[in-house]
Amino acid sequence: MSIKISNLNISIDESIDDLKDKVCKKLRVSSQSIESFKILRESIDARRKDNIKFNYVVEVKCDKESKIVNKVNDKDVKVQEEVYTEEFIFGSKKMSHRPVIVGMGPAGMFAGLLLAEKGYRPIIIERGEKVEDRTNSINKFWSTGKLNLQSNVQFGEGGAGTFSDGKLTTRIKDARCDFVLDKFVKAGAPEEILYNGKPHIGTDILKEVVKNIREKIIELGGEVRFNSKLEDVIVSDGAVKSVIVNGDEIPSESLVLAIGHSSRDTYEMLYRKGIFMEAKAFAIGVRVEHSQQMMNENQYGKYANHPKLKAADYRLTYNTRTTGRGVYSFCMCPGGEVVAAASEEERLVTNGMSFFKRDKENANSAMVVSVNESDFQGDTPLKGMEFQRHYERLAYILGGGGYIAPVQLIGDFLKDEVSTKLGNIKPTYKPGYEFKDLRKCLPHYVTESLKEGFINFDKKIKGFASGDGVLTGIETRTSAPVRILRNEKLQSVSAEGLYPCGEGAGFAGGIMSAAVDGIKVAENIIKEYSPLD
């Protein structure tokens, strides 16, 4: 067992080395009696800008732990029993063929890693390129506007999260999160993600981490095939029999679908095959850019740019009075840039990206408005996807083609005026931008909701709506537009052996929750089947 101590504070001017002394004082023990000391969580308390503090949760081991806790009698000091991890109970059913995983994003990657560790030698197919080649394809798109339909910001090794901020925050409470973080660290991520209250890796480091996990899967007997597109799923007598990939048939009775939220042609194929799915709500809007310095000053006051403080972030939410819709920030990228994230011809999409240091001049975030089934036209489960396509096409046309993005200053957007010049904020989007009226590529209720939301956000962050902030259209890929229904074994309700998984199946939202869902699916395969010989 160990002792867990919460709510330990040190000021911004104190050293991290003072933390152990505070622990000893709180427990009324000497430093020599502490056998081990581990930081479990670090967060920043900036509610008082003149007195910023770092808050910690720590774990220590020492002699007579229960006696110490009883003597201290403090609600922030508790005995922590050792976490017991039950060994996997392998299924007895013999697997005729290797399991196939479609997609090398977080869900597919972690499903593949766990299956490989347990002796199932999975085959992972990925329509895009390995991350090294994918990076070249994306850079070419950003510089020339020439889009690789199979390997881009949405498709390729690592999934969409690889070219984002690399956030590892999640609202789910699941012990598997620790497993994911530990594997990331072993693959080259900074150790601070294990305890940071808002962990992130950044695109630059995440690319190397993803490559190292791929190499580990291969070392353990798995296989990863790039430039390999799922074209068909063969179902017979209500069960998966094989898949067609690049024209070739691969037999498998266990198929993990970790396709990501933008595999629209795969959704269409699955719908034609009769795989049950339903339309689901998501959100659309724009990307907004401000000065990162403004955000730092807003959050940290006189301590802005202090060497102990990283680039400030924000999380904003508002329920509108006029439309009754939620407006909120999404995928906020401190010190980052807005990137072109299209995956279809003549449809324009944006996303945000940051490197680990988050040291660029602009802060950016999606500012999105909730939409649901009542907003979509049609009567198929794919109507939300078609809704996305419609407005992405309008944005492409509005920009003038070539994936040039329409932009507008926030002040002009609020006044329904097309901007004519920039202020102090230069848009970071490539291949380029044009001043346009963003109302022409978004639903009226979205633009009106955004206006009301911006005015509210200006009360929370001074200058948010009154400065030189730049809006870039449009953001549509906040989450999957469909959910592929599954049963208690995490298999599709339509086909035995088909495991819809992660964000693309509608069961996750972000790197961590997608990775956890991939692990859950792998566990269910392990429970049913014995490892391969």
Across residues 333-351, what is the average pLDDT? 98
- In this prediction, residue 174 carries a pLDDT of 87
Q: What is this structure's pTM?
A: 0.94
Q: Of 320, 301, 321, which Cα lies nearest the Cα of 312?
A: 301
Residue 379: both structure tokens together = 């009567």
On the question of pLDDT at 533 being above 90, the answer is no
184-235 residue pLDDT tens:
999 999 999 999 999 999 999 999 999 999 999 999 999 999 999 999 999 9
- In this prediction, residue 408 carries a pLDDT of 98
CATH of region 100-278+482-528, choose from 3.40.640.10, 3.50.50.60, 1.10.1040.10, 3.30.1490.20: 3.50.50.60
On the question of pLDDT at 84 being above 70, the answer is no
Q: Of 288, 247, 244, which Cα lies nearest the Cα of 102?
A: 244
Backbone phi, psi, residue 100, to 5°? -110, 130
Across residues 265-292, what is the average pLDDT? 98
Across residues 440-455, what is the average pLDDT? 98
- Contacts of residue 413, defined as CB under 8 A and 6 or more positions apart, other chains included, come to 438, 447, 450, 451, 454, 471
Tally the residues of the chain.
Answer: 533
Distance from C-alpha of 533 to C-alpha of 522, rounded to nearest angstrom? 18
Across residues 84-90, what is the average pLDDT? 72
- In this prediction, residue 85 carries a pLDDT of 63
Across residues 326-352, what is the average pLDDT? 97
- Eight-state DSSP code of residue 466: T
Q: Of 368, 429, 398, 385, which Cα lies nearest the Cα of 153?
A: 429
369-416 residue pLDDT tens:
999 999 999 999 999 999 999 999 999 999 999 999 999 999 999 999
| pLDDT classification of 467: cutoffs 50, 70, 90 | confident
Looking at the chain, which residues constitute the CATH 3.30.70.2700 domain(s)?
2-80
Looking at the chain, which residues constitute the CATH 3.50.50.60 domain(s)?
100-278+482-528
| pLDDT classification of 83: cutoffs 50, 70, 90 | low
- In this prediction, residue 315 carries a pLDDT of 96
On the question of pLDDT at 472 being above 70, the answer is yes
On the question of pLDDT at 468 being above 70, the answer is yes
111-127 residue pLDDT tens:
999 999 999 999 999 99
On the question of pLDDT at 290 being above 60, the answer is yes
Across residues 158-170, what is the average pLDDT? 92
pLDDT: is 87 or 76 the higher one? 76
Give the number of other CB atoms < 10 A from CB of residue 62. Answer: 19
- In this prediction, residue 24 carries a pLDDT of 93
- In this prediction, residue 257 carries a pLDDT of 98
Across residues 476-493, what is the average pLDDT? 98
| pLDDT classification of 82: cutoffs 50, 70, 90 | low
Residue 344: both structure tokens together = 């279809």
Cis peptide before 431 (omega within 30 of 0): yes
Across residues 274-281, what is the average pLDDT? 98
Across residues 49-70, what is the average pLDDT? 93
Mean of all residue pLDDT scores within the chain: 95
Pairing mode of beta strands 405-409, 433-435: parallel
- In this prediction, residue 59 carries a pLDDT of 94
Across residues 165-169, what is the average pLDDT? 91
Q: Give the architecture (CATH level 2) of 2-80.
A: 2-Layer Sandwich (3.30)
Pairing mode of beta strands 482-484, 277-279: antiparallel
- In this prediction, residue 175 carries a pLDDT of 86
Maximum CA extent, the chain: 72
Q: Tokens 């056998």 correspond to what residue?
A: 35
Q: Of 204, 169, 173, 174, which Cα lies nearest the Cα of 189?
A: 204
Give the number of other CB atoms < 10 A from CB of residue 132. Answer: 11
On the question of pLDDT at 86 being above 70, the answer is no
Residue 70: both structure tokens together = 């009883």
| pLDDT classification of 343: cutoffs 50, 70, 90 | very high
Across residues 511-520, what is the average pLDDT? 97
